[in-house]
Amino acid sequence: MWTHPCDRKLTLGVRSRRDRLPASGASHAVLTLVSHDGVVADRVLVADDDRAIRESLVRALELEGYAVVPASDGAAALACVRDDPPDAIVLDVMMPSVDGLTVCRVLRAERNRTPILMLTARTETRDRVAGLDAGADDYLPKPFDLDELLARLRALLRRARPDGEIESGEQSVADLRIDGGARRAWRGERELELSKTEFDLLELLVENAGIVLDHSTIYDRIWGYDFGPDSKNLAVYISYLRRKVEIDDEPKLIHTVRGVGYTVRAP
């Protein structure tokens, strides 16, 4: 169960200057925020039916310079996305009317690739995988630290930007092919349906085929933040990626080097 979001020990992890949030009840009308150097702020949709959590996240993100759109349930979140698409979505799983998993599935079915960070009180691996299967790019279990949420959000936004990071041309390992420019991947003649994070992870492994990448390197390259040895985030993504890349009797390409990390190599 959530403790109160003003608790300094856990929950949102609000500390130092973030402890001094504006009083609740302030209007959250969405404006286009522009910095003094003309940079337009990223717009983030925050969907959570818990008012205290939602308002705390809105205030914290606004202090970080984001333009924030609040939504109290999944139906409202879908309406917001369709009315004025955000740059990223922070989405709670358990919501009335339409839950977070359904929101993900609907958006992905509509080919909406907006980065989604899922918030969930469920800690079992199968529950987290369900979120990834629905189309989420990342997940964060409740209660969470605000600094970690901000780091994951920055990483999602950074990877979503088209400037300077996309490589053209194809790379391959055995019958696995990746087109970095088109952001498409195939195993033989079968095209893989990958989320943004899944594609980034697979591309990183293929770019370094035959080289064992340790956990810290992968976290830094994909998430821009090392979540420490106790995090299961990477293991869940690797497991989920294998389910898409290695089906039926296809030869294994993604290998685990215990105590070190992961590598892609031809059979």
pLDDT tens readout for residues 83-102 = 999 999 999 999 988 999 99
For 16-160, CATH number?
3.40.50.2300
Give the residue extent of every domain in the chain: 16-160, 170-264
Residue 174: pLDDT band (50, 70, 90) is very high
From residue 36, alpha-carbon distances to 30, 56, 61 in Å are: 19, 26, 18
Residue 175 DSSP code: T
Task: State yes or no: pLDDT of 15 exceeds 80.
Answer: no
Residue 179 pairs in a beta bridge with 170, 184
Helix axes 74-83, 100-109, angle to 10 degrees: 30
Residue 255 pairs in a beta bridge with 263
Write the DSSP string, 108-120. Answer: HHTT----EEEEE
Match 């949030």 to its residue by tokens.
21
| 231-242 pLDDT, tens digit each | 888 999 999 899
Peptide bond just before 143 cis, omega within 30 deg: yes
Domain topology for 170-264: Arc Repressor Mutant, subunit A (1.10.10)
From residue 5, alpha-carbon distances to 18, 45, 47, 193, 250 in Å are: 12, 19, 16, 37, 47
| 97-121 pLDDT, tens digit each | 899 999 999 999 998 989 999 998 8
